[in-house]
């Protein structure tokens, strides 16, 4: 792994057993290989202007394992207990993010032609941090951008829904807004963006319930607001 990557490998711990040391070394090797693959196959400067999602469905890696990467509930990516500070690398990791349902449980992986590595996701795998009105052929669309570079417009393939989320240690669930992005992956809409969305739309009372009415691409979308909002 090159020196300018702003995270570090797990360091050997003299208190670890031989099995634990081998597991840490295997994890470090997998992470180094994944980082090298991304470096060779993606150009962060190019991705600033053009989003490129690899053909994950065409890849059938034989090596499957786990890696200590966590996508926090606030959208931060962590490795080995530390945040990954280079946003360009986080953006690249997001392009190879895969969701699968195994034995009824949703699991997330980073996938390359050679490896499929399971990671932990505390809430949604992606985070929307901005919304704007885009005009195309005199038609207004609501356009959402994630903090890792995905751009989608509100339509019937990219809907918004409200779902409960129970944070670790919390006594009750929060109702949070999510949006479908791609390939089964959803994104949490962060608080400031959702407030902006409320300003853009209209709140109406329908059948005794508050509904956020949004217009995008000459279509109307209704989002029922939680009672305590």
**What are 170-212's pLDDT values in tens digits?**
777 888 999 999 989 999 999 999 999 999 999 999 888 899 9
Sheet strands (E) in the chain: 63-71, 77-79, 82-83, 97-102, 105-111, 115-121, 126-136, 139-146, 151-153, 160-165, 174-182, 185-189, 202-206, 209-216, 219-224
CATH class label, 126-224? mainly beta
Start-end of CATH 3.10.540.10 domains in the chain: 18-121
Q: What whole-number distance in Å separates Cα of residue 134 and Cα of residue 143?
A: 6
Residue 51 clears pLDDT 90, i.e. is over it: no
pTM over cut 0.75? yes
**Higher model confidence: residue 9 or residue 70?**
70
What pLDDT shows up at residue 9? 40
Q: Which of the pair, 28 or 22, is modelled with greater confidence?
A: 28
Q: How confident is the model at residue 1 (pLDDT cuts 50, 70, 90)?
A: very low
> Residues 6 or more apart from 63 whose CB is under 8 A from it?
30, 114, 115, 116
Residue 158 gets which letter from DSSP?
B
**pLDDT over 60 at 107, yes or no:** yes
Tokens of 28: 């470090």
pLDDT for residue 8: 37
What does the buried/exposed string (b/e) look like for 77-106 if buried means 16 or more CB atoms within 10 Å of the residue's CB?
bbbbeeebeeeebbbbbbbbbbeeeeeeee
Residues of the chain with CATH 2.30.270.10: 126-224
Report the distance separating Cα 91 and Cα 35, nearest Å: 12
Contact in structure between 4 and 62 (CB atoms under 8 Å): no
CB distance 223 to 215 below 8 Å: no
| CB 225 within 8 Å of CB 203 | yes
Q: Which CATH number fits domain 18-121: 3.10.540.10, 3.40.50.300, 3.40.50.1820, 3.30.160.160?
A: 3.10.540.10
- Compute φ and ψ for 114, nearest 5 degrees: -100, -25
Q: Share the mean pLDDT of the chain.
A: 83
Which band of pLDDT confidence, cut at 50, 70 and 90, is reported for residue 42? Answer: low
User: Count of H helices and E strands in the chain?
Assistant: 4, 15
Q: What is the pLDDT of residue 24?
A: 60
């Amino acid at each position: 792994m090159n020196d300018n990557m702003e995270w570090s490998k797990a360091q050997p711990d003299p208190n670890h057993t031989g099995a634990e040391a081998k597991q840490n070394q295997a994890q470090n090797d997998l992470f180094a290989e994944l980082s090298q693959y991304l470096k060779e196959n993606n150009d962060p400067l190019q991705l600033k202007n053009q989003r490129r999602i690899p053909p994950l469905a065409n890849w059938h890696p034989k090596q499957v394992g786990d890696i200590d990467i966590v996508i926090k509930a606030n959208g931060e990516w962590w490795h080995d207990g530390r945040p990954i500070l280079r946003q360009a690398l986080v953006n690249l990791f997001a392009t190879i993010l895969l969701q699968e349902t195994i034995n009824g449980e949703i699991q997330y992986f980073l996938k390359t032609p050679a490896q499929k590595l399971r990671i932990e996701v505390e809430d949604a795998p992606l985070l929307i941090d901005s919304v704007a009105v885009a005009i195309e052929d005199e038609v207004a669309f609501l356009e959402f951008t994630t903090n890792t570079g995905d751009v989608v417009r509100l339509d019937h393939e990219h809907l918004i829904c409200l779902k409960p989320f129970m944070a670790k240690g919390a006594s009750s669930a929060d109702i949070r807004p999510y949006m479908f992005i791609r390939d089964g992956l959803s994104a949490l809409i962060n608080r400031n963006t959702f407030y902006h969305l409320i300003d853009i739309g209209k709140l109406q009372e329908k059948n005794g319930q508050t509904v956020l009415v949004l217009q995008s691409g000459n279509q109307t979308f209704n989002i029922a607001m939680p009672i305590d909002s």
